[in-house]
Structure 1
Amino acid sequence: MAHSAPFVTSGQLFLFTLSVNTINKYRTMSLRVTEEVMRRSLHFCSRRFRWHLGRLSATASITDASVSSQQLAHIWRTGQSQTCPPRTLIGSARFYSYDSRPGEDLEEKEPAVIQIAATRHGQRSSPFTDRLVRCGSPSDVLDLTCLYAPTVSQVSHCLTQMWSTTKKMSEEQARYELQLMFEHPAFEKLLQHTMRRVRFMTGEDIAYSLLCMVKLGVPQRSRVVQTFLRASQEKLNDLDEKSLSVLATCLDQIEEGTPNVAALKKGMGLQVETRLPWIKNVVLLQTMMRIVGKDAPLKLKRKLERKALSMTDQFSLPNTLYMISTMATMGFYSKPLLDVCSNKIKENLNVIPFSGQYKLLQSCKQLLYRDLDLLTDMSDHAASMMDIWSNKQLVILLSAFESLLFCPTAIMEAFAERVITNPDALTLRDLLCVLKVYSSLNFDLQHQRQQFLDGLTGALVSYLPRMSEFELLKTVYYLCLLGHFPSAPLEQLLQSSTLEQFKTTVPSYVINHERMFRTVDACLRLDRPQLPQHLTVPPFVLGDLTTSIPSDKPWLSQSLRSLVGDQADTVLQEMVVLENSYVIDGVITKPLTHQPSVTEASEAECRSPAESSQRIAVICTANPFCHGTSHPRGPLAAMTRHLNSLGYDCVTVAEHTLHGMPEEKRMEFLSRQLFPERHGSDTRPETEQLGS
């Protein structure tokens, strides 16, 4: 009985061996020449190999096919082991053109490979799927498609496997494998085959295939992606909730303005609105809410809100946490729904793990939702977990609280004790984060303050040689806000060699650097710390404050002028720059209110005009206080400290609070703060209420 020809002839093996020996002999040759020799040799062998493979019968045994698959995979991996020259990922593949090319052959051609029949419904595995799950890279999957012609349903599994393999790789390895994938000749054939067969795919396969193509980096305006977007529109009525969710995830990855995306999003919104009355399950409702996303019209979001409120009695604790996350994903703030969820969470804080609490704080930040009772309870719970949670977890949680402008007193006091006990356990990143949180929230540790700051400073000094210039600037800035001036970091920052490096700062960061340097400069001049040597900040890193003056507030200016206009001996100055560090919205100078005695009157004649009058600095800024209190945050606390040393009394108001008042109420509030003698009562309670 005649035997079939071997897959690889001796001549082919000789040519391949000769190529390898040539490469080993001439290693000093350029990389490009080496790769060219290898590429041509492998290309010749692989073409001859495929030619022999094409002559196999369609009824060839699975055993023979398995051997062929291994040999082919070996040849491809040999070629992939060489370092690829930097090339664009999309290369010259034809299917990337958005518009069809004249004369391009779009007819389906039967590949000269083993044909595997479609698996029957309910069959769990097949030779193709068994080999597919063992593929470790996109190129392995493409090699497999050269051996087996995937069916319509298997195409989606191929793309899914290609994407899932890259998720397990490092960033560098994934980039290299994707480059190999785009250069692989079977990739173009696979996508062409997919594009021609899309009309036979199920809605689920279309959704997953589209998501995988986008994740793999196929250009979003390419014909294949656009074809799948149009097919998704046609199949919308057939998609179940899971497929709609996958499609929504995919659309989030596609850039705005890409053709067919807007129409598809609108169609998905209509699908959700149509199915809404029949939804009886909370998880399904949350899936629908995530599908519509941030681009949904407000009317639809309100319908979803009413549906959710009607189902609150079904909310479990996981439902509650996921609902807040879902609203953050939608970008939809619903206070009634958030309050319901918040009350449920407060009752079950002790069973929510750290990751759940951190995600909750992140969602609250996205929604700008600050429930004072919830945040306080979370702070107390975190303090009780001090012996269980690690430094890293506690620092992350502190940072999340700070981003909400909330001062978690319980956890900050407990964590300060841990820092005092063992400051060396903190990494540089931990130290910078702790300094930022405690300085931003202007937290007063009272009798433990000096021990805490000394512990942090001692740990920071050991990291000074490893700090970048920006990390050093942040360290000194945070310490200055806290009113602490260790000499070592200050001297290193103000060395000429360090300061010179800030001349090359990226323009987008210059304003922030100048602001921090101005604060350091003001602290050195006005706080007058005791240092071994006199330190000053050179002018070239301070910048020009007048170029960064915030826009004026005409509504505030009008109110101040109206108040001062009918006051004798009262002067208003607007947008006053002090010490080249601070811009004051308004300075009101008025005579002292108390009646001087005869002795004081004679002494007043010798005083300067500034000493015989009262100067009030009106500061109107966004988020000046910690949430729920009138306690000033770090930058405002430093400004107030310095203005007081210059002889100013400070009146601080929150911009969003004052701007939102009716004109009459705003005038009354400012009058009570600036001219309390008119009202004859303490105005502090009102200040706290409006400033919080």
Structure 2
Amino acid sequence: MSNKAHSLLWNIGQLRAVLPRSRVLRIYPLGFCRPEVVYSKWNPRKRLLNGFEDGLRPSVRYLFQGILKSVDDCTQTKGVKHAGVFKFGRVLCPRRLSSDSEHSLVSDGASDHDLMKINFHHSSSEDVLTKKMRPTPMSHKKLAQECNSLSDVLDTFSRAPTFPSSSYFLAMWTIVRRVSGDKRRFEIQLMFSHPAFHQLCTQMMREAKIMHYDHLLFSLNAIMKLGVPQNALMVQTLLRTIQERINECDERCLSILSTALKTLEPCMNVNALRAGLRILVDQQVWKIEHIFTLQTVMKYIGKDTPFALKKKLEMKALKELDRFSVLNSQHMFEVLAAMDHRSVVLLNECSKVVIDNIHGCPFKVLIGILQSCRDLRYQNEDLFKGIADYVATTFEIWKLKQVIFFLLLFEDLGFRHPDLMDKLMERVVEEPGALNMRNIVSILHVYSSLNHISKGQNKEFLEAMTSALTARLHHISAENLLSTVYSFCLMNYFPLALINQLTEKKIINELLTSGDTEKNIYKLHVLNTCLKLDENACYKATHIPLPQLPLSPAHPNDRAAEVLSNLLEGDGCFSRNVQLPHNYHIDFEIRMDKNRTQVFSFSDVDATSATDMQRVAVLCVPKFVYCLNSSHPRGLFAMKIRHLKAMGFHVILIHNWELRKLRMEDAVAFVKAKIYSPKALPTTDATVESMG
């Protein structure tokens, strides 16, 4: 040490003995120091003197190499300078300095040897004193192990606050996750009322600009999970600070920031931060190395992300496809659904991996895959069949509600798996008492919507469901009663006890005045129609007075009209957009003889005996009226065909997607074969006949 420095220190020591002690800062409860705002020029030498004034005597090298440079860099903002103070029990950590930085006061997990490297030319007694003055930051994991409640964490903070404040919030969130729902709410309530909580929030705001960026992000996530309101000053301060320091975001921080943004409601700071994140991802997407980070960013970046950025993320995922693990492939469905981006190529590749590794796949993962396919409108029969085959093969290990959940999702996707549905029918017939009301409504909805009928046990299944409902007849709600009767009507089955209960005036009035009245009115219209047209409806109730439904929308079907005009040589032999009773609509009507060998012109119909004429209904149908990739009609469409036949029509089905592929000559031949052939659509007709 030079003679001048030694002389300076000796003089300072003499001054301390003569001059009265005075404090620059006011000391507040819980050990917090509120800095004074000083508008004059800040002198580092004064800073050094103030440090000695508080009774702290760190080494000269420690002060000049660590403190002066760090404080000068970190405490000056926008022309307003804060007088700093070094206080026992609190360690400042300059922002953006790693744990191995030479300017860091104390590194995480720093050894005594590392601390001694900072100071030299000192006596051993000075080294010991210096170490005591530099407490190691508290690890949130250790803190969570030592404390049993959120109040314990806050008590620890109030006794000896240490840097960084993020450790306390992370420890509290770790503790909260260990307890049940009721205790969790009680603990959080105690946290808000604890006297040290406000001080912790204040310290968090002060440290935000000097805290490591990843700690800042973890803190925001933990604070939001602890239930702190988003409009709180601390949360908005963190959001603004994170936004200002977003250039410090590395790959790990990208994942944390994306996750944190998902829990936040839109506001000015959140929107600005999300926009900054998207710009950052757009710049760094090709540098992302870890698949988990890529999927996390994709999952939480938002559905309103520009399509160009979604496409860039998709290309990055396709580029890394060879590195995907089985879990990555399973998770990609949920990722794409969260981003609302339907990448068929990526989904197809991941589907192959899922099918090949289906055995042992957890229920939650399989459900997530099916839900994502529904949200993305992605239909892959091989994937659905692979999952359904696996569930059917391992049927005994699944709970009843799990199988029903699978079937509900399959119904949403329009997929019918006869083997799995037959197995559930067997269980229902064997154990009807195991069903609760929700199970009954769900099962009937699925089986009626997919029009699934088992020839061997259909009657036993319907009777078992009716018996289970009848036992609960006096406790069932009006809407559940209507839903179950509606499902029975689609399946051409009419339980008298349930219909009698439903048609009571009190129940009808309740359905017409509460709940989803539009849906209720539609279902009651279906009940009315079935009771009048279906032969199996032996119970003929009086007409239920209902509001009139709006007419079914008419579809142009210009292609089919042109084909019929060429085939029948003019428009006089067929009628377009025919509205029928009971709110039924058909695309075209043709009048033919009983043998369907001759077409009558509508002007000649009056001269033709009704007994010698056959009314033909031509329906142009899309794919969604059938189960996925099959000719099996779904429930509502099957009921319509059944009722058209009851009204005296012969039904001819023309598939729109097939007609569009054909040239005019081929299309005319195709429709002609359907109209004049005595065995039009044998597969579909046979299916419909079996329903009666």
TM-score by length of 1: 0.71
User: 1:149 aligned to 161, 169, 172, which one?
Assistant: 161
Rounded Cα–Cα distance in structure 2 between residues aligned with 1:183 and 1:495: 55
2:217 is aligned with 1:207: yes
Post-superposition offset of 1:670:
7.7
The residue number in structure 2 matching 1:578 is 581
Conserved in 1, the CA contact under 8 Å of 2:493 and 2:537? Answer: no
> Secondary structure of 2:610's partner?
coil
Rounded Cα–Cα distance in structure 1 between residues aligned with 2:482 and 2:189: 41
2:529 is aligned with 1:522: yes
Post-superposition offset of 1:652:
5.2
Rounded Cα–Cα distance in structure 2 between residues aligned with 1:306 and 1:367: 18
AA in 2 matched with 1:544: Q
AA in 2 matched with 1:193: Q
Q: Which runs of 5+ in 2 are unaligned?
A: 1-27, 34-79, 93-105, 111-135, 600-604, 686-692
**Residues 584 and 144 of structure 1: CA distance in aligned 2, closer, same or farther (over 3 Å):** farther
Rounded Cα–Cα distance in structure 1 between residues aligned with 2:83 and 2:152: 24
The residue number in structure 1 matching 2:58 is none
AA in 1 matched with 2:346: L
More deviation in 273-282 or 638-647? 273-282
AA in 1 matched with 2:219: S
Rounded Cα–Cα distance in structure 1 between residues aligned with 2:584 and 2:323: 53
User: 1:190 aligned to 197, 200, 203, which one?
Assistant: 200
2:108 is aligned with 1:121: yes
> Secondary structure of 2:570's partner?
coil
> Secondary structure of 1:576's partner?
strand
2:328 is aligned with 1:327: no
CA-to-aligned-CA distance 1:168-197 (integer Å, 9 cap, x gap): 566566556555555555444433332232
**Residues 267 and 128 of structure 1: CA distance in aligned 2, closer, same or farther (over 3 Å):** closer
More deviation in 167-176 or 482-491? 167-176
Rounded Cα–Cα distance in structure 2 between residues aligned with 1:347 and 1:622: 29
AA in 2 matched with 1:378: I
The residue number in structure 1 matching 2:115 is none
Rounded Cα–Cα distance in structure 1 between residues aligned with 2:486 and 2:219: 51
2:265 is aligned with 1:263: no
User: 2:495 aligned to 463, 483, 486, which one?
Assistant: 486
The residue number in structure 2 matching 1:98 is none
The residue number in structure 2 matching 1:544 is 548
CA-to-aligned-CA distance 1:423-480 (integer Å, 9 cap, x gap): 2223322222211111111012012211221222222322333322211111111111
CA-to-aligned-CA distance 1:257-282 (integer Å, 9 cap, x gap): x1133332233233333333344543
The residue number in structure 2 matching 1:645 is 646
AA in 1 matched with 2:488: L
**Residues 671 and 596 of structure 1: CA distance in aligned 2, closer, same or farther (over 3 Å):** closer
Post-superposition offset of 1:545:
0.3
Q: Which runs of 5+ in 1 are unaligned?
A: 1-52, 59-104, 598-602
The aligned length equals: 566
**Residues 170 and 481 of structure 1: CA distance in aligned 2, closer, same or farther (over 3 Å):** farther
> Secondary structure of 1:375's partner?
helix
Rounded Cα–Cα distance in structure 1 between residues aligned with 2:619 and 2:397: 46
Rounded Cα–Cα distance in structure 1 between residues aligned with 2:32 and 2:348: 69
> Secondary structure of 1:381's partner?
helix
The residue number in structure 2 matching 1:635 is 636
> Secondary structure of 2:341's partner?
coil
2:359 is aligned with 1:344: no
> Secondary structure of 1:614's partner?
strand
The residue number in structure 1 matching 2:610 is 608
AA in 1 matched with 2:200: L
**Residues 464 and 270 of structure 1: CA distance in aligned 2, closer, same or farther (over 3 Å):** same
Rounded Cα–Cα distance in structure 1 between residues aligned with 2:408 and 2:315: 34
**Residues 216 and 129 of structure 1: CA distance in aligned 2, closer, same or farther (over 3 Å):** closer
The residue number in structure 2 matching 1:467 is 476
CA-to-aligned-CA distance 1:514-545 (integer Å, 9 cap, x gap): 122111221122114455x6434622xx4320
Post-superposition offset of 1:585:
5.4
Conserved in 1, the CA contact under 8 Å of 2:300 and 2:338? Answer: no
**Residues 158 and 280 of structure 1: CA distance in aligned 2, closer, same or farther (over 3 Å):** closer
More deviation in 115-124 or 385-394? 115-124
Rounded Cα–Cα distance in structure 1 between residues aligned with 2:380 and 2:141: 51
**Residues 594 and 54 of structure 1: CA distance in aligned 2, closer, same or farther (over 3 Å):** closer
The residue number in structure 2 matching 1:273 is 282
CA-to-aligned-CA distance 1:585-643 (integer Å, 9 cap, x gap): 5342434474579xxxxx9967339x624241536567211111121111111122112
TM-score by length of 2: 0.71
AA in 2 matched with 1:464: L
**Residues 669 and 535 of structure 1: CA distance in aligned 2, closer, same or farther (over 3 Å):** farther
> Secondary structure of 1:630's partner?
coil
Task: Kindly report which structure 2 residues correspond to 1:50-449, keeping only aligned pairs within 5 A, or say none.
Answer: 115=89, 120-122=107-109, 126=138, 133=145, 138=150, 141-151=153-163, 153=164, 155-167=165-177, 178=188, 181-182=191-192, 186-256=196-266, 258-449=267-458
Rounded Cα–Cα distance in structure 2 between residues aligned with 1:462 and 1:249: 48
Conserved in 1, the CA contact under 8 Å of 2:138 and 2:162? Answer: no
More deviation in 136-145 or 515-524? 136-145
**Residues 393 and 646 of structure 1: CA distance in aligned 2, closer, same or farther (over 3 Å):** same
Which structure would you say has the larger Rg? 2
> Secondary structure of 1:543's partner?
coil
**Residues 149 and 361 of structure 1: CA distance in aligned 2, closer, same or farther (over 3 Å):** same
Post-superposition offset of 1:683:
8.1
Rounded Cα–Cα distance in structure 2 between residues aligned with 1:128 and 1:478: 56
Conserved in 1, the CA contact under 8 Å of 2:140 and 2:170? Answer: no
2:598 is aligned with 1:588: no
Conserved in 2, the CA contact under 8 Å of 1:439 and 1:482? Answer: yes
Rounded Cα–Cα distance in structure 1 between residues aligned with 2:354 and 2:626: 26
Rounded Cα–Cα distance in structure 2 between residues aligned with 1:183 and 1:681: 83
Conserved in 2, the CA contact under 8 Å of 1:370 and 1:404? Answer: yes
Conserved in 2, the CA contact under 8 Å of 1:620 and 1:652? Answer: yes
AA in 1 matched with 2:432: P
Conserved in 2, the CA contact under 8 Å of 1:402 and 1:440? Answer: yes
Q: What percentage of residue pairs aligned between the two structures are identical?
A: 30
Rounded Cα–Cα distance in structure 1 between residues aligned with 2:321 and 2:417: 29
Rounded Cα–Cα distance in structure 2 between residues aligned with 1:687 and 1:529: 21
CA-to-aligned-CA distance 1:380-404 (integer Å, 9 cap, x gap): 2221112222222222222221121
Rounded Cα–Cα distance in structure 2 between residues aligned with 1:331 and 1:272: 17
Conserved in 1, the CA contact under 8 Å of 2:652 and 2:674? Answer: no
Post-superposition offset of 1:163:
4.1
More deviation in 180-189 or 367-376? 180-189
CA-to-aligned-CA distance 1:227-277 (integer Å, 9 cap, x gap): 322322233332333332222122222234x11333322332333333333
> Secondary structure of 1:616's partner?
strand
**Residues 216 and 131 of structure 1: CA distance in aligned 2, closer, same or farther (over 3 Å):** closer
> Secondary structure of 2:625's partner?
coil
> Secondary structure of 1:199's partner?
coil
Conserved in 1, the CA contact under 8 Å of 2:108 and 2:137? Answer: no
